[in-house]
């Protein structure tokens, strides 16, 4: 299994710990459960939409934190490694990530 930086068990690499984001994920999960309940209760559409926008904002913040960590650790390590193959791999990886952003 690969770690968050794409390294397999054959490669030793210190990768960042995202466990600090668990509380944010739990909060988002709770917000989603709340929206489900609102839908089941046939709540007013704008109220549901406001909650969905809050969830979207929380997910974007989570995404930004993980991306910042990835850039600061995994990508930075690759760039400093002087391994052209690894640098090229990280650039390609970032291109794929950014293609998926809104």
pLDDT of amino acid 9: 47
Domain total in the chain: 1
* pTM of the complete model: 0.75
> Does residue 35 sit within a domain?
yes
Q: What is the mean pLDDT of the chain?
A: 88
> Hunting for tokens 């990835």 — which residue is that?
70
CATH number at residue 73: 1.20.58.1000
> Does residue 26 sit within a domain?
yes
Q: Provide the domain limits for residue 70.
A: 21-99
CA dist 3 → 11, 40, 51 (Å):
10, 39, 33
> Does residue 10 sit within a domain?
no
> Is residue 65 predicted with pLDDT exceeding 50?
yes
Contacts of 30 (CB under 8 A, 6+ apart): none
- Model pLDDT for residues 15-60, shown as the tens digit of each residue: 678 888 999 999 999 999 999 999 999 999 999 999 999 999 999 9
């Amino acid at each position: 299994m690969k770690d968050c930086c794409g390294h397999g068990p054959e490669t030793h690499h210190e990768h960042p710990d995202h466990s600090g984001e668990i509380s944010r994920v739990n909060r988002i999960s709770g917000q989603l459960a709340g929206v489900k309940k609102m839908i089941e209760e046939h709540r007013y559409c704008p109220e549901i939409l406001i909650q969905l926008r809050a969830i979207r904002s929380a997910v974007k913040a989570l995404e930004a934190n993980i991306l910042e960590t990835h850039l600061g650790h995994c990508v930075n390590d690759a760039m400093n490694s002087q391994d052209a193959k690894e640098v090229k791999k990280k650039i390609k990886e970032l291109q794929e990530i950014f293609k998926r952003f809104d």
